[in-house]
Structure 1
Amino acid sequence: MLNIILLGLPGAGKGTASAPIIDKYHVAHISTGDMFREAMAEETPVGLEAKKYMDAGDLVPDEVTAKLVEERLQKSDVLNGFILDGFPRTTVQAELLDQITERLNKPLSKVISIDVPEDILVERLSARYICKNCGATYNKISNPTKVAGVCDRCGGKEFYQREDDKPEVVKNRLKVNKEMNTPLIDFYDAKGLLTHVNGNQAPEKVFADIEAALAD
């Protein structure tokens, strides 16, 4: 059984790294967003409890989120293991997760931190631009228009950038996330579970490094 947590700042490529792990090891990908939506749709007691907070515009307390995680980790698709994405976000949540994995006898195998220099992350995250006419989304680095300055879909020539994709906003978002991430990295490092992987390389090389870490 392979139970892992992927850590990394926005834009580090956690989603890209998850796909080949799921394919090779047949583990369940558990993201907190999906988990909340499923529990509310199924109207489980914990899902309904979480919905009360969300409907009121309040943050869902750690204990409720932890109950949701525990409920999710008992589903049949977790037999081979799991990748947790978006939980834990704090050391309090990490301690709650320790209690959950102990109760369910599903200890963590590895915590992988995908590391990318901040200037590269700013470049990646602020490279998105949108066609003013039809709303098609492009990325200067990974998905540019076929003809420079011309929308592939509608031929429009005017583009704009969303406020939260602008470099100064991206820098602030990274700063906030780094402040949250650092104590978690220290927490799992102290437990001997942490492995750092260089995320500033081709996706297949990132996966090869993750494979090596999981074989350790």
Structure 2
Amino acid sequence: MKIVLLGAPGAGKGTQAKLICEYFNIPHISTGDIFRAQIKEKTALGIKAKEFIESGNLVPDDITVSIIKETLNQKQYNDGFLLDGFPRNIYQAKKLDLILVEKRQFIDKVFLIDVSKNIILERIAGRRFCGQCGASYHIKFNPSKYGDKCEVCGSILMHRYDDKENIVLDRLEIYNKSIQPIVSYYKQLGILQTIQGNADAKDIFYNICSFLKAV
């Protein structure tokens, strides 16, 4: 099973991706995780990606498409996968089809998780993480018992640059401009399903599963 998960930053794609991949036993491909790993390792790609991410812009298509193609060509993804964070525009969507055609494969289902802007801002702006051990928190939904310190290692919690409200608003504007052509594209292919993302995560997951079991 090959799935694409669409949604604005903070729509809950990561949570749903984890649930779906565990239930259907398919690997999760997150462009965000790939880029963060490259940045942490200070690779040439990571250095380039960091410049764009920290300025609130998306990583250019050529870099993103190349790393997705390289990833999908690995044997572990031949029997299925879930793509989270890709494609981000119509160019990437068409490039993804071409990559899969070369492998005689295709996307089974595309899910768009639709969440209101106010909820997204609340979710993202409140996120905090520990730069030492990687533990994650939220000032409202999952606060640390120790205030601004990590419960695991005691380090000071950090607020990612791209989680700050002004950067989030810029990211949402870019997202809204690029998502409509992708939605239209996958609608025409008959594989798009819109899911309301304001509900509880488990309810959203059950809703998604009901469609996947029919594939």
The normalised TM-score by structure 1 is 0.74
Give the CA deviation at 1:124: 1.3
Q: Which position in structure 2 is the counterpart of 1:115? A: 114
In 1, distance between residues paired with 2:60 and 2:168? 27
Structure 2 vs 1, CA of residues 60 and 171 (structure 1 numbering), >3 Å: closer, same or farther?
Answer: closer
Give the CA deviation at 1:170: 2.8
Give the CA deviation at 1:37: 7.9
Structure 2 vs 1, CA of residues 71 and 197 (structure 1 numbering), >3 Å: closer, same or farther?
Answer: same
Superposition pairs of residues 1-216 of structure 1, within 5 angstroms? 2-35=1-34, 51=45, 54=48, 62-63=61-62, 65-128=64-127, 138-146=137-145, 153=151, 164-216=162-214
Q: Secondary structure at the match of 2:121?
A: helix
In 1, distance between residues paired with 2:13 and 2:177? 18
Structure 2 vs 1, CA of residues 139 and 79 (structure 1 numbering), >3 Å: closer, same or farther?
Answer: same
Structure 2 vs 1, CA of residues 191 and 200 (structure 1 numbering), >3 Å: closer, same or farther?
Answer: same
Give the CA deviation at 1:65: 4.0
Contact 2:148-2:157 within 8 A present in 1 as well: no
Give the CA deviation at 1:126: 2.0
Structure 2 vs 1, CA of residues 76 and 124 (structure 1 numbering), >3 Å: closer, same or farther?
Answer: same
- Structure 1 unaligned runs (5+)? 41-47
Structure 2 vs 1, CA of residues 146 and 186 (structure 1 numbering), >3 Å: closer, same or farther?
Answer: same
- Structure 2 unaligned runs (5+)? 53-57
Contact 1:53-1:60 within 8 A present in 2 as well: no
Structure 2 vs 1, CA of residues 104 and 53 (structure 1 numbering), >3 Å: closer, same or farther?
Answer: farther
Contact 2:145-2:151 within 8 A present in 1 as well: no
Aligned residues: 200
Contact 2:2-2:108 within 8 A present in 1 as well: yes
Give the CA deviation at 1:193: 1.2
In 1, distance between residues paired with 2:140 and 2:46? 41
Q: Secondary structure at the match of 2:14?
A: helix
The normalised TM-score by structure 2 is 0.74
- For 1:198, give the aligned amino acid: Q
Q: Secondary structure at the match of 1:143?
A: coil
State the identity %.
37
In 1, distance between residues paired with 2:14 and 2:116? 18
Contact 1:25-1:80 within 8 A present in 2 as well: no
In 2, distance between residues paired with 1:169 and 1:178? 14
